[in-house]
Amino acid sequence: MNRFDLLNKVQNILKDNLVICNIGLPSQELYKISDQPNFFYMLGSMGLSSSIGLGLALSQNKHVISIDGDGSVLMNMNTLATIGNRAPSNYTLLIIDNGSYGSTGDQRTFTDEKTSLKDVALGAGCKNVIECYGEETVNELNKAIDDKDNSYVIISKINSGNVKIDPIPLNPITIRDRFRKFIGKVKYL
Amino acid sequence: MKISKKIIDNLKKGGVDFYLSVPCKLLANMIDILENDKDVYYSAVPREEEGMGICAGAYLGNKFPCIMMQNTGIGNSVNAIVSLLQLYQMPVVFLISYRGTPGEPVGAQGGMAKITEDILQTLRIPMLHCSSEKELDKISTFSKHAKVVESPVAILCDFNLMKDDK
């Protein structure tokens, strides 16, 4: 199972939540599978999906899923400490860990060598850290959302590999405004 | 405490209700005030770039965020500012302790001080430079301006303005 297959499997769960999706192929693949106003596609700022989702979860009550990658978490590893200490229960970080920098040509990351993001997350203070494989992710993600008392970090181990895909044709302000409108607090739209 | 209280009062008057900081000793009084303020959210964060991401999320959730940091933090955050806050036109207030300005005892802070305003200018970020107490009165209007123009804005507080704020 690669990232595209995984996103296909979890798309119905994502549809019912606020989603912050990582830059590059993860966003492009999700857009191709199912474009929704409650999906915020990152067009820049590699590494910050988990952080944007955390700020959003702290600011309103709907459940937030940050879709991140192993390469991106390695770039912003302090995020795990902030999540471990501050994440509210309406927050789930889904790290799609394929051991490679998918968007830049599948170069290996350190999670394909010695680094365990599960161990890092636990050491950083995250309590509910789940490492799972491929299809198991669907169940784990559902459990995380159903648990109204705890936040979760789910590390989904999958194979590397991408599908051929185009950039997202949406303007960033369109992504922003329809997302904020979905949350329901923006009056000018 | 008088200066710090005035800054926070003006930020709150400007609508800012979500605060992060990467601590600085010049920000210590403001952090104390915020930690005891039940009306707003406050947390420390390990790194400024990460804080930019959290502020972006807070804005999406309809908060008006501020990140407090040293001027060195701007250097850590350039890509996040340009390809997140500015790309999606997100208002965020940067409250910056301007280390390396006259009065600063640590010589090594001078390097970032020399280029801080150039970086902000290159990024086209509106700046409010506060070197005396009366300039702090402009903070609330300046913060509201961030929302009107949908842009991050920067408030620079000089070392000498902050250092004796006991």
User: Would you write out chain B's pLDDT as a tens digit for each of its 166 residues?
Assistant: 999 999 999 999 999 999 999 999 999 999 999 999 999 999 999 999 999 999 999 999 999 999 999 999 999 999 999 999 999 999 999 999 999 999 999 999 999 999 999 999 999 999 999 999 999 999 999 999 999 999 999 999 999 999 989 7
Mean of per-residue pLDDT scores for chain A: 96
Where residue A50 falls among pLDDT bands split at 50, 70, 90?
very high
CATH code where residue A83 lies:
3.40.50.970
Instruction: Tell me how many domains chain A contains.
Output: 1
Q: What is the mean pLDDT of residues A35-46?
A: 98
Q: Classify the C-alpha dihedral A87-A90-A95-A101 as positive or negative.
A: negative
Please name the amino acid found at residue A145.
I
Inter-chain touch B79–A44, beta carbons under 8 Å: yes
Where residue A184 falls among pLDDT bands split at 50, 70, 90?
confident
Phi-psi region of A125 (alpha: psi -120 to 50; beta: other; left: phi over 0): left
The predicted structure's pLDDT at residue A186: 73
Q: What is the pLDDT of residues A94-133, one digit of tens each?
A: 999 999 999 899 999 999 999 999 999 999 999 999 999 9
* B136 phi and psi angles, rounded to 5 deg: -65, -20
What are A167's two structure tokens?
């950039």
Percent of chain A with pLDDT over 90: 94
Q: In the beta sheet, which residues pair with residue B66?
A: B19, B93
What are A85's two structure tokens?
């200490």
Question: Which residue in chain A is spatially nearest to B77 when comparing CA positions?
Answer: A45
Mutate to test the interface with A, among B41, B79, B84 (most CBs of A within 10 A): B84
Instruction: Domain of residue A152: give its range.
Output: 3-183
Inter-chain touch A52–B53, beta carbons under 8 Å: yes
DSSP string, chain B: -HHHHHHHHHHHHTT--EEEE---GGGHHHHHHHHT-TTSEEEE-S-HHHHHHHHHHHHHTT--EEEEEETHHHHHHHHHIIIIIITTT---EEEEEETTSTT---GGGHHHHHHHHHHHHHTT--EEEE-SGGGGGGHHHHHHHHHHHTS-EEEEEEHHHHTT--
Whether A170 is covered by a domain: the verdict is yes
Q: Which CA distances in Å does A5 have to A50, A137, B89? A: 22, 12, 33
Inter-chain touch B57–A53, beta carbons under 8 Å: yes
The answer as to CATH 3.40.1190.20 being correct for domain B2-162 is no
Q: Which helix H or strand E contains A24, and what residues bound it?
A: none
What are B156's two structure tokens?
């620079």
The predicted structure's pLDDT at residue B125: 98
Whether A188 is covered by a domain: the verdict is no
| Residue B54 to residue B63: CA distance in whole angstroms | 11
| A185: pLDDT strictly greater than 80 | no
Asked if A42 has any chain B CB less than 8 Å from its own CB, the reply is yes
CB A133 within 8 A of CB A159: no
Whether A189 is covered by a domain: the verdict is no
Q: What is the mean pLDDT of residues A25-40?
A: 97
Where residue A187 falls among pLDDT bands split at 50, 70, 90?
low
| Residue B81 to residue B93: CA distance in whole angstroms | 12
pTM for this entry: 0.98
| Residue B97 to residue B86: CA distance in whole angstroms | 22
Inter-chain touch A78–B87, beta carbons under 8 Å: no
Residue B141, C-beta contacts closer than 8 angstroms, at least 6 positions apart? B14
The predicted structure's pLDDT at residue B86: 98
Inter-chain touch B56–A60, beta carbons under 8 Å: no
Mutate to test the interface with A, among B60, B64, B85, B87 (most CBs of A within 10 A): B60
